[in-house]
Structure 1
Amino acid sequence: MKFKGMVLTALISLGSMTAAAGEPANYNVVPLPQSIVITKGAAFEVDADVQILAPAELQSEAEFLKQYIKELTKCDLTIVNKRAKKVRYIELAVSPKVTAKEGYVLNINQKGVTIQGGTAAGVFYGIQTLRKSLPIACKCGKHKGGCLPAATITDAPRFGYRGMMLDCSRHFWSVDFVKKFIDLLAMHNMNTFHWHLSDDQGWRIEIKKYPKLTTIGSQRSGTILGTNSDLDDGIPHGGFYTQQEARDIVKYAQERHITIIPEIDMPGHMLAALACYPELGCTGGPYEVGHYWGVYTDVLCVGNPKVYEFVEGVLAEIMDIFPSEVIHIGGDETPTVKWEACPKCQALGQSKDKLQAHFTQKVFGYLTAHQRRALGWDEILDGCPQDAMIMSWRGSEPGAKAAELGHDVVMTPTSHVYFDYLQSKEAQFEPSRCGGFIPVEKVYSLEPAPDTLSVEAKKHILGTQANLWAEYLLTEGLVEYQALPRMSALSEVQWTQPELKNYDAFKERLTRFTKLFEFYNYKYAKHLWPERQLPSRWQF
C-alpha cells in the first residue's frame, strides 16, 4: 500500500482543513482500500451544481450514488450521459485499465471525480468507498456538501467470495428486513448472501409442486424458551417467502452486485419437510415441525426412491427462482441411527458411514446435469465428487484438508465467525447461542488462507463468510446487534490484504464507521465503546 510517506501527509491534509472549508472526507474507511495516495491540489466540493456522468450500462450504479449523496449531504444531483462545458462531474466508467473485475480506481481533484471499475461491480465498490468517506448528514450548499481532498485510491478485494449467512428458518424475517440485511452486505463490500431457507424448525420457501411445505412445514405450534430448556411457549410461529417475493429479493441483491446462494439442508435437518410428507422418512412418522434446537434423528430415507423425486422437484424450482451457479445442499449433522434400522437404507448395501455419500452423489449429479454447482457443509467431504465446494464450519481444519484435496473452500469456522455467539463475556443480558464467545478482535484475526497451506491449496480458498443462526434471535434488532460491528471486522478479512491489517487502526476507522450504523438506524453492539452502552439492559 502506498501509505509510506503518505499517511502523515494524508492525516495532516484531512485534519488541517478549517471549518470554513467544510468538513473533509475521510478515505480511511471500512474495509480499508489497498492504496490511498493524497495528491497535491485543491479539494473537490460536493454541492448541488455537481452532476453524475454515467453511460447507460451504469445507470443503476449512478442511481445508487445519487441516493447516497442525497441521504448524506441533502444534495440532489442530476444524472446525465453527455458531458457539457463548465460542469463539475462525478464520472462513472468501466475501464479495461482496471484489470481486477471487482477492482476500481477513484481519482479526485478540484475539477472532478472519476470512478473507474474493472466491471460495474468495481464501480459500485468505488461508490461505496466514496459514500463512506463523506461526512455524515452534512447539508448541501456552499462549503457544506463535504470536501473531497485530492487523492487517488486504487483498490481490489483479496477474496472473490465475501459473504454472510442469515438463518430464516428458526425465526422468520420479513422481506423488508432481508432487504435491509442485504443493504448491510453492500455497505461492507460483500458479494454473497447465503440464505438458509429450511431446517427442522421451519420451511421458508414456496415450492409449488409440494404445497404442504408451506401450508404445514412453515408453521410450528411452539418454541422452547431459553437455552437447554424443555419449557415450550406454546405460541405459533411461522412464515414463508412466496416465489415472487424470493425473485424480488434476488433482483434487489443483484442490483447491489450480490449473489444469493439458497440453502435447502439435506438429508438431515429435514423434520419440517417430513411433517408434510411423512413417507419420505425411514419410519413414516408421525412427525412434527421442530420446537427445540439441536439435531433430530429423523432424516430423509436415503433408500427410498421417492426421496430423490422429492429432492429433484424441490431443486428444480429452487434453480428456477435463484440464478446462482451455486446451490447449497447442507449435509451437516445427519445422524445415521434411523438408516441403520431401515430396510430400504440397508438394501443399498452401504455401510452407515457411506450412506450420506450415496445421497450426496445423487444430488450432486442432478445439479451438475443442470449446469449448477453444489456447495455443502464440511461433513460432505467424505465421498463427495471432486468438484464439490466445501463450507468449513467445524474449524478451519476440514477446509484446509479439502483445499489440499483440490476442493474449492469457503471458510466459516465456529471459532471466528459464528455471529450468534456472545460478543462480550460481561454481557449477561445478551441473548445468544449458549456457550460461545467471539469478540470483534477474534473475528479480525481470522486468516482464511494461512501459510501452512500449500501454494496450490491456497488457490482453492475462495473466501469466507459469517453465519447468523437464529435460534435465540427473537427480533430483527437482535439480528443487527449480533452482526455489528463484527461484520465490519469480517469485511476487512475478506477485502483487505493481510499485510495492511492492523487491529488498533481498524478500531479507529470503525469508530467513525459506526456513525453510518446510527444514520441508517442499525443496532450494533457497543462493547468497544463502553461510554455508549446502555446503563442497564439491551433494548431491541
Structure 2
Amino acid sequence: MRNFFCLTALFAVVFLLNSCKSSEKETGQIAVSWQLVTNFTEVENGFEARFTLANHGNTALTDKNWALFFNMSPRPIIPTKTSQSATVQHINGDWYKMTPNAGFTLAPGDSTAILYAGTEAVIKLTDAPLGLYFVFYDKDGKEENVVEVANYRALPLTKKEQQLRGKADLLPLYTAAKRYEDNLALSLLGANQLQKIVPSPVKITSGSGTLNLDKSFPIYYGNGLETEAKLLSQKLKAVTNTDFPVQGGAASGKGIVLKTGPVSVNGVAKEAYKLDINPNGITITGSDAAGVFYGVQSLLALVPTESYLKPSASLTLPLVQVEDAPRFAFRSMHLDVSRNFQTKETVLRLIDLLAFYKINHFLFYTTEDEGWRLEIDGLPELTKVGAQREHTAGGMAAPVLHPAYGSGPKAYEEGKHGSGFYTKADFIEILKYATERHIKVIPELNFPGHARAAIKSMEARYERLMKEGKEKEANEYRLVDPNDKSVYLSAQGYKDNVVNVARESTYHFYEKVVDEITKMYAEAGLKLDTFHAGGDEVAEGVWTKSPEAAQLLKDNPAVKDPKNLQSYFFGKLLKRLEKRNLSIHGWEEVALNKSPEGKYLPNPEFVGKKVVPYIWNNIYDLDLGNRLANAGYPVVLCNVTNFYFDLAYNNDPQEPGLYWGGFVDTRANWTFAPFDMFKTTYRTSMGKPLVFSGLEKMKPEARKNVIGLESQLWSETVKGREMLEYYSLPKLLGFAESAWAAERPWETIENREAREKSMQTGWNVFANTLAQKELPRLAVLNNGYNYRLPLPGAVLQNGELKANIEYPGLSIRYTTDGSEPTAQSTLYTAPVKVSGKVKLKSFDAAGRSSRTAALDGNAAGSTLD
C-alpha cells in the first residue's frame, strides 16, 4: 500500500535530504536549516526568513572562502532593517546565493543565523530553498570545491503568520475544522446514484439485467479499426487475465462488434459513438475511428471497479445504451517537461490516462528557460548544453544552464530532474503511441521570451564555431544581439531569456527547428499541421538598449516602440510558418497589442489567419477570453482559476504546488461555465471578491469561437512521475467532465443562489463517483497511478469526535494513541467519545490513504494538522 505516494518520498525530494556522493569528510560539515519567520511584515505581501548555519567540521568559514547557492521560487530580495553577517542575493531565475559580509567568521562548533527579506509571501514547504550547495574558494578567490549540503532541513510552517500571506490574505486557515464545515454540504449516495461513466455521456439508457462477458465473446472489427480492437483486447485481459480473440470482418455469432457508420449526437458527428450492451453481446458504432475508440473507453468505464481490483475470468456488465459525442472538439492537456524533466515512460503513462478520459490533444512543452528537451538534427548543442543544468563559475554569462528548481550543481545526478532529453526515436515513439490513442501531439517552441535554454545553446555553438574560424556558420543561428544592454526581469526572475527579434538568424533558427520536427512527424507517419509558438511573458524593458533593435525601429517607423516588437516578431514569424501550411497556436499575447498605458487589447491583424490564442488570464484581466472570442479569434480556454494543475489544492503548507493564481482543486476543474466564466470565479487569489461590472461578456455569436479547453501542468514544483500524477489526479477527471460533457444545468442559471444549489447537487454526485468508482480503479489501471486522497474533516465537541470527508464513500479510520492510522485502524462511522491524540486518514477501496489529520482530544478544540 502506498500512502500519499509515501509522504517521505515527496518531501525528501522537495527538501533535498539527499545523500552526497562525495567523501564523508566533505559532506555534513556545515548543517543548514531554513525557517520562514513571518509574512506579516512592514512591506505589503513581504516575508522574512532565516538561514541557520552550524559548523560541524574542523575548518572555519571566513569572509572569503565560501558561498552558498540554492534555488528558491523567484522573489525580489529587499534589505533588512538590521545588518547581517551574510547577504542573500538573486542571481537569475530561481538561482540565489548567500555570500559572507566583511568580518564574517564561523568557527568549528559555532552556528550563526542570517535573516533575509523579500516580497511575495511564502506559505508552502515547496517554496523553501532547495538544491543547496557550497562553493569553497582558495586564497586567490578561485573555486576549489563544490559540495552539496547533505544536512539540510526546512522547518514546518505552523503559525498564522507563516500560513497566510500577510494582512491582505482573506482566506481561512486550512484546519480539520474548516474541512469539516466545508464537507457538511456533501452526502453519501448509493451505487445506483453514481455517474456511470466519466466524463458524462450525452445520453445513457439503462436496461434490466446484466451481461456476463468472457473470452467466449470475440472482438470483431470493421475496416480501419484493428488498432482499437487490439487495445480493447489488451484492456480486457488486464481485468480478466484471459485473452479475448480479435478478428476482422462481420460477427459470426455473439461477440463485441466495433464498426463505423453514420452517428450524430446533439448535432455532432465527429468522435460520436453509440454503445449497446445487450444480452447477445456488445456493439460500438462510431462516426469515425475516434468515435469507436471513445466507445471502447466508455465500455471499459462500465466495468465494475471491483473487477479492476480483483480480476476474474468474466465481467458482469449492465445492459445499457449510450449515445455520446463531445461538447468541445479540442480537449487538451499541456505538460511542461522543461522546468523538471519527465521520462518517456512517464509521458506514455500520461497519454494512456488522457485517452481513458477522452482527452484528444497533448501540448508537449519541451523548450523553456531551464531546459531544451528534444534532439534536433544539426544543432547538437540544444541537448548537449540546453538539456542539462549544472553549477557554473561563469554565472549568467557562461553558455551553460545554471541549477534550477533544486537540480543541484551536477548534471544528470541520480534522483534529480534538471537534466534529460528525448532522442528523435523517443519523440517518434511518443507520437505513434499518442496517435494510436487518438491524441494529437502539439509541439511548442516558445519565442521570443522563455528562450534561455535555446539562447545559451546557440551561444555555445557560436563559441565553438568561432574557435574553428567559421564566423558565418557561427552566426547562422545566433539568437542575441551581443551589444544589447537592455535591463529587464521576467515573470520567473530571468534577466537574459529573450531572443533578439531584429536578427534574421533568430527566424532561421525557428524555421530550422520546425522543419526538423516536421521530419520527425513524417517518420511517425504523420503530418505536422499545428504548431504552438508560445509568445507569453515578454518582460518590460526588452530590446530597449539593443543597437540591432534600434536599427529595426528606424527602418520600420510604424512599429513605433520596442514594446510593439513582440507583435512585429509574431507577424513576421507567422508568414514563414504559413508557408509550411501550419495552424499557429500560442498563448494569449500572440493576439494582443499593448496600449500606451500598458493595457492589452485584441490585435485585429491575425484574425482569420489560423491563429489560435490560449487564454489563461481570467484573474488579472477578467474578460480577456471574452474579448478575444468576440473579436473573432478561435480560442482555447485554459483559465488559471480552473485548469492549472500545478496550483495547489489548498493553502495547507504541506500541500505542494504554486498559488499565484489561487488554489485549484478538483471541484474547480469540474466547475466551469465556458461561455460565462463570471459564473464560477468569484474571488482573487487572496480571497477578495471580484467585480465584474463594466466587463465584456461573451456574445452568443462568439460561442462558436471557443474551440475547446486545456488543462495545464507547469512543473516548477513537480519532481518525478509520482508528483506529476499526484498533481493531475483527480483534477484531470473534473477537467474531462468540463471538456466533454454536455452543458450542465447550472451553467445557464442566472441567480447565484439557485445556481450554486444546482451546482452542489451535481458536484455531490461527481464527488461520490470519484470516491466509490474512479479513484480505486486508478490504483490498478496501467499498473497503478498515484492520485491524491483528501484529508478528513474533523472537530472535537465536548470530547466527541465528528468527522467527514470531501469525497463521500471514502472510509475514515482513526487512532487515539498517537500512532498512524492504517487500513486496520478503527473505522469511523458516527460521532464517538475520544481522548488523547486523535489521528485520522481517509482510505479508498484499493487501500490507498490520505495524509494524516491530527487533533488533540485532551484540548478544548481541534489543532492544526
Which bracket does the TM-score occupy, shorter chain normalised? 0.7 to 0.9
Counterpart for residue 776 of structure 2: 515
In 1: Cα distance, 2:576 partner to 2:277 partner? 50
Amino acid at match of 1:161: F
The farther-off stretch of 126-135 and 237-246 is 237-246
Counterpart for residue 468 of structure 1: 713
Superposed CA offset, 1:154-174 (max 9, x none): 011000110101001011111
CA contact (8 A) 1:260 1:324 kept: no
In 2: Cα distance, 1:168 partner to 1:139 partner? 31
Counterpart for residue 21 of structure 1: none
CA contact (8 A) 2:729 2:786 kept: yes
Unmatched 5+ stretches in structure 1: 1-10, 17-25
In 2: Cα distance, 1:490 partner to 1:459 partner? 20
Identify which of 398, 411, 416 aligns with 2:642: 416
In 1: Cα distance, 2:614 partner to 2:628 partner? 9
Amino acid at match of 2:231: F
Equivalent positions of 1:2-401 (< 5 A) are: 28-40=196-208, 42-83=209-250, 87-98=253-264, 100-136=269-305, 138=307, 145-221=314-390, 233-236=408-411, 237-278=418-459, 279-283=478-482, 293-322=492-521, 323-349=527-553, 350=559, 351-382=561-592, 383=603, 385-386=606-607, 387=609, 388-395=611-618, 397-401=623-627
Identify which of 429, 432, 444 aligns with 2:657: 432
Percent of aligned pairs sharing the same letter: 30
3-state DSSP class of the match of 2:842?
A: helix
CA contact (8 A) 1:303 1:344 kept: yes
In 1: Cα distance, 2:310 partner to 2:350 partner? 32
In 2: Cα distance, 1:219 partner to 1:337 partner? 28
Shift of the alpha carbon at 1:453? 1.4
CA contact (8 A) 1:269 1:296 kept: no
2:721 counterpart of 1:484: no
CA contact (8 A) 1:104 1:126 kept: yes
Superposed CA offset, 1:184-232 (max 9, x none): 1001100000000100001111111322111111111157677xxxx88
Shift of the alpha carbon at 1:420? 0.6
3-state DSSP class of the match of 1:203?
A: coil
Amino acid at match of 2:214: D
Amino acid at match of 2:738: V
In 2: Cα distance, 1:131 partner to 1:232 partner? 40
In 1: Cα distance, 2:634 partner to 2:369 partner? 28
CA 1:298–1:135 in 2, change beyond 3 Å: closer, same or farther?
Answer: closer
In 1: Cα distance, 2:528 partner to 2:674 partner? 23
In 2: Cα distance, 1:135 partner to 1:109 partner? 17
CA contact (8 A) 2:366 2:372 kept: yes
Superposed CA offset, 1:491-539 (max 9, x none): 00000112267211111222211122101211111114551344459xx
Superposed CA offset, 1:303-325 (max 9, x none): 11111111111111122324342
Counterpart for residue 763 of structure 2: 503
In 1: Cα distance, 2:647 partner to 2:451 partner? 24
3-state DSSP class of the match of 1:64?
A: helix
Identify which of 842, 861, 864 aligns with 1:531: 842
In 1: Cα distance, 2:326 partner to 2:568 partner? 37
Larger Rg: 2
In 1: Cα distance, 2:311 partner to 2:385 partner? 60
Unmatched 5+ stretches in structure 2: 1-188, 392-401, 412-417, 460-477, 522-526, 554-558, 593-602, 678-696, 747-761, 791-805, 808-840, 844-848, 854-865
Q: CA RMSD in A?
A: 2.8
Figure out how many residues of one structure are paired with residues of the other and give that number: 507
CA 1:66–1:285 in 2, change beyond 3 Å: closer, same or farther?
Answer: farther
Shift of the alpha carbon at 1:285? 8.8
Amino acid at match of 2:257: E
Counterpart for residue 20 of structure 1: none
Amino acid at match of 1:325: D
Superposed CA offset, 1:36-86 (max 9, x none): 11135x42210121111112410100011111111122232111224565x
The farther-off stretch of 330-339 and 496-505 is 496-505
3-state DSSP class of the match of 1:253?
A: helix
CA contact (8 A) 1:72 1:137 kept: no
Amino acid at match of 1:159: F
Amino acid at match of 1:259: K
3-state DSSP class of the match of 1:456?
A: helix
Superposed CA offset, 1:239-259 (max 9, x none): 111122111110100000000
In 1: Cα distance, 2:613 partner to 2:364 partner? 16
User: 1 or 2, which has the higher helix percentage?
Assistant: 1
User: 1 or 2, which has the higher strand percentage?
Assistant: 2
In 2: Cα distance, 1:152 partner to 1:507 partner? 24
Amino acid at match of 2:500: C
TM-score by length of 1: 0.88
